[in-house]
Structure 1
Amino acid sequence: MKIVFKELTLGELIILHDSYFESGEPDAPLKRFSEMSPLEQKLALEVYSPEFHFAAWSGEKLIGFVGVYPDKEPINVGIFYIIHPSFRGQGYFASLLEALIAHCRSKYPHYKYIRALTRKENLASVRGLSKASFTYNGECVEELPQLVSYSEYLLSI
């Protein structure tokens, strides 16, 4: 299945925000978009820069979202991904990763690695990254409101 990345519309930005809210990730937003004040909504939308965030489409289906975060120094291009729950377990993640890898290699050829962080409890993500030839590179801890341990995976560009 072919995955295409498109610029986010306002409606898709709100779906992305709420999908991330529902994900249970430690750094997820604390409120649904509709529960936020107008100022909070404005600030939330600024987080999802259209330069680095895209809607992921398979045909006519919005299956999820991706983000690409290049380091200032050309070393790592971090990636972010969310597959909408109704499309999980259907092979979309492998296709999404394939398209995301191709995007990073095309847009950031002078970088060394594509970097993905996932919690080790997220077995689907761990399996998908491994199948896409990402290599486990150890654990790293990020300080969010609390300390969160992630598994780091790298893929050569």
Structure 2
Amino acid sequence: MKSVQDFDPEGFRAAYEELGLTQLDVANAIGVSPGTVGRWVRRRGAPSPRLFAAIAEKVGIPRSRMLRPLAEDADLAVLRTRAGLRQEDVAERLGVQASDVSEIELGAGRVRDEWVTTLSALYDVSVDQLAAAVEATATRWRASFDAKQRGVAPGR
């Protein structure tokens, strides 16, 4: 996942305008072009987890102001990007390879019990929300696997 899925352009714009900032100010603070920030505001994309984290850190906009409410069916990748983290960041905190995090987010790997507290804190969600995301990830994997077994494209 290359961008923050739950990014809220209206919340983002309102937050930087309340700070008295322009798109140019935000762009300069995080090292992108003003056109990039403009595309985010016009719903033509969303920041990557790295840039999302930079907005929160360097511009001072709380992540919660730039996100839509967490969907009930949010999966692990959504939780990670909402936290402004890359798979490499999570892997480092868990002491595993980024490919292990990728497998977990695809539903092919399993979240170990000893990771639950760390992931809950990293993603700033409750243990119950993390468990729901694990289940949503597994459900999507099973649906994709079953579709492949039947020779049908996933989602159809």
Same fold (TM over 0.5): no
Question: Of Structure 1 and Structure 2, which has the larger fraction of its residues in strand?
Answer: 1
Report 1 or 2 for greater relative contact order, CA contacts < 8 Å, sequence distance ≥ 6.
Answer: 2
**TM-score band, normalised by shorter chain:** under 0.3
Question: Of Structure 1 and Structure 2, which has the larger fraction of its residues in helix?
Answer: 2
TM-score (norm 2): 0.26
* Bigger radius of gyration: 2
TM-score (norm 1): 0.25
